[in-house]
A = this chain, B = another copy of it.
């Protein structure tokens, strides 16, 4: 039986499966949409990954990930631009719906977050024409503020959309509930994004209380405090009806279980709490 509207970000089963095994495990349970990471694709080879996707008519709801623009010097900034262009090429080869942008944090020993944010804006502007030419939409993913220093200095949907508005066509947002659920402006900003056709992806998981690790303790949908149905309703109201993509980093729980069980649980929770 096909599971419509559900995508598995392959980080969710990273320790259990390589790319090919992950796709197989998804297809076996009726899931026909995935979101792979660059290292997972590199491990099997871009051509083989693209072949598997095409042969099985798999939808790629996003490719993870571009971004990481801030750097301490011009060589680092230029290297990030080049690497992002390669990620755009790979996204095109895989037929991904978008390239997810985790924009990067403070470079080196810098404490100047405004400067880092300016580097992000400049980096996005530098690659956007190439992304447009390759027909690869860029999806800025605002990350939770607890990652502002080391992973992404774009931390609210409003900030991401301000960037998108300044940059023009070809760029939008990936709305991950884990990063955005707390935001008092989330509903208004989802509506704003919808008005401008800027919602490119919707990622789901849950916020656990307590959260034992800043990076690797995301919860399965339903095990935490996020009102997933409300956020989904807002996103659909805003005009986005694409897949909900499960992205769970969970070193002490889900990454230790059999991959088939994880995927089955995603399906069950998707049907009951999302």
Selecting from A4-12, A62-70, A204-212, A245-253, the interface stretch reads A204-212
Q: Check: A225 CB closer than 8 A to any chain B CB.
A: yes
B111 contacts A211, C-beta separation under 8 Å: no
B225 contacts A111, C-beta separation under 8 Å: yes
| With A210-B214, A214-B211, A225-B106 as contacts: A182 and B148 at CB distance below 8 Å | yes
Interface residues on A, range: 20 to 34
Please, which residues of chain B bring their CB within 8 A of the CB of A225? 106, 110-111, 149
| With A150-B209, A150-B210, A214-B211 as contacts: A145 and B227 at CB distance below 8 Å | no
Most buried by B among A183, A224, A225, A227: A225
Q: Check: A117 CB closer than 8 A to any chain B CB.
A: yes
Oligomer: number of copies: 2
**Among B159, B181, B184, contact of A159 (Cβ-Cβ < 8 Å):** B184
B112 contacts A227, C-beta separation under 8 Å: yes
Q: Check: A77 CB closer than 8 A to any chain B CB.
A: no
Q: Check: A91 CB closer than 8 A to any chain B CB.
A: no
Scan residues 173-194 of chain A and give those whose CB is less than 8 A from a CB of chain B. Answer: 181-184
Bound together, the chains give a CA A6 to CA B220 distance in angstroms of 44
Scan residues 132-154 of chain A and give those whose CB is less than 8 A from a CB of chain B. Answer: 144-146, 148-150, 153
Please, which residues of chain B bring their CB within 8 A of the CB of A210? 150, 214
**Among B146, B184, B224, B227, contact of A144 (Cβ-Cβ < 8 Å):** B146
Q: Check: A155 CB closer than 8 A to any chain B CB.
A: yes
Bound together, the chains give a CA A225 to CA B159 distance in angstroms of 20
Please, which residues of chain B bring their CB within 8 A of the CB of A214? 146, 210-211, 214
B182 contacts A145, C-beta separation under 8 Å: yes
A113 contacts B227, C-beta separation under 8 Å: yes
B146 contacts A146, C-beta separation under 8 Å: yes
Q: Check: A156 CB closer than 8 A to any chain B CB.
A: yes
Please, which residues of chain B bring their CB within 8 A of the CB of A182? 113, 145, 148-149, 153, 155
Please, which residues of chain B bring their CB within 8 A of the CB of A145? 144-146, 182-183
Q: Check: A226 CB closer than 8 A to any chain B CB.
A: yes
Q: How far is the CB of A263 from chain B (nearest CB, A)?
A: 24
Please, which residues of chain B bring their CB within 8 A of the CB of A226? 111
Q: Can you list 6 A-B pairs with a CB-CB distance of less than 8 A?
A: A106-B225, A110-B225, A113-B181, A145-B183, A148-B181, A150-B209
Beyond known contacts A113-B181, A149-B207: 7 more, CB 8 A cutoff: A106-B225, A112-B227, A145-B145, A145-B182, A148-B182, A155-B182, A211-B214
